[in-house]
Amino acid sequence: MDNVIEMENVTKSFKNKDAVQNMSFTVKKGEIFGFLGPSGSGKTTTIKMLTGSYCQSKGSLTVLGYRNENIGSNGFIDQIGILSDHSTAYERQSIADNLKLFAKLNDVPLQKIDDTLNFIGLTQDKKTLVKHLSAGMKQRVLLAKALIHEPELLFLDEPTASLDPLTIQHIHKGLKALNERGTTIFLTTHNMQEANDLCHRVAFIESGILKEIDTPDNFRFNHSNHTIKVMHKNNRSKTLPMTSESAQYISDMLEANDLKYISSDLPTLGDVFLKITGKELV
């Protein structure tokens, strides 16, 4: 299976208003696919269709080989993990007890609990009650619940929203390791740096419409002004086009030991999103 998700001309309407409009894209097996857009752009609605919570109004969906009405069946649910703003843990139980309960519900061997705790960095805190955890640690518990059964496909809806930088860094490290072990990840976010750090490809969505899909690097390069800025040792700077002549100019600077620094003028993903959609990503 080359594609774990195939969406073709999908529309989702609520009371004659389209939340998602004629959307088509694929997600490849083994990639981290970023779904980027501001609040209210249709990201969560799309995830709910892909996980079986909503049925599409028009179009065709295939996820892990399950088509349309079969998405959300018992066999399908066993193969996915979901972390969303509706994910919860039992506040008056410990981290370990939460995972033990979830493991039993999913026929997961109990020895997987320690493996999962170690993977997300909560081994030392496993006896702590969830109600005593920080927001970041609670989010890591919810992530552990989503991945303890080793899903083929993990859906993450704004997984690091409102978390501190250290917790975000820890979660990113875990997600990269999980992906390296073979899990495909579908990530919605409005954090462009997160998308740039994690995703193999990203899709821009705005007002329910899919605008463009590419790799983060391609987005930034293709929407740059294709210039390089160099500074001589005497602090004289010069902006050059990306040409063979410029490459020779820089080579001559290096040979003369006259290059203080060099930088490419690439936009951020946020800059590119604004250019494509005309809107800030907030």
pLDDT of residue 105: 85
Q: What is the arithmetic mean of pLDDT over 41-61? A: 94
Residue 192 corresponds to which tokens in the numbers above? 């462009």
Instruction: DSSP for 109-132, please give it.
Output: -THHHHHHHHHHT-GGGTTSBGGG
Span 156-176, pLDDT tens digits: 998 888 788 888 888 898 899
The residues that bridge with 154 in the sheet, in sequence order, are: 81, 185
- Residue 207 in tokens: 């007002």
Q: Are 210 and 276 in contact, with CB atoms under 8 Å apart? A: no
What is the per-residue DSSP string for 89-101?
A: --TTSBHHHHHHH
For the chain, give every domain's residue range: 3-215, 225-265
Share of the chain above pLDDT 90, in %: 52
The whole-number average pLDDT for the span 179-195 is: 92
User: Hey, what are 147's tokens?
Assistant: 């991945």
Q: Where are the alpha helices (DSSP H) in the chain?
A: 43-50, 74-77, 95-105, 111-120, 135-147, 165-180, 192-198, 216-222, 244-255, 269-277
Strand 259-264 relative to strand 227-232: parallel, antiparallel, unpaired? antiparallel
Residue 170's CB is within 10 A of a number of other CB atoms, namely: 20
pLDDT of 196-220, one tens digit each?
A: 999 999 999 999 999 999 999 999 8
Range 3-215 classified under CATH 3.40.50.300: yes
Calculate what percentage of the chain has a pLDDT beyond 70.
99
Q: Quick one: pLDDT band at residue 1, thresholds 50, 70, 90?
A: low
Q: Is 133 in a helix, a strand, or coil?
A: coil
Confidence of residue 282 (pLDDT cuts 50, 70, 90): low
Whether residue 48 has pLDDT greater than 90? yes
To the question of pTM greater than 0.75 for the whole model, the response is yes
Q: Is the dihedral of CA 180, 33, 66, 52 positive or negative?
A: positive
Q: How many CA atoms lie within 13 A of 61 on its CB side?
A: 24
Q: Give the mean pLDDT of 179-187.
A: 95
d(CA 101, CA 105): 6
Residues forming a β-bridge with 189: 36
Q: How confident is the model over 215-229, as pLDDT tens digits? A: 999 998 888 877 888
Residue 6, sorted as left (phi over 0), alpha (psi -120 to 50) or beta, turns out to be beta
Angle at 8 between CA 7 and CA 14, to 5 degrees: 80
In angstroms, rounded to a whole number, what is the distance separating the alpha carbons of residues 72 and 276? 34
pLDDT over 70 (residue 134): yes
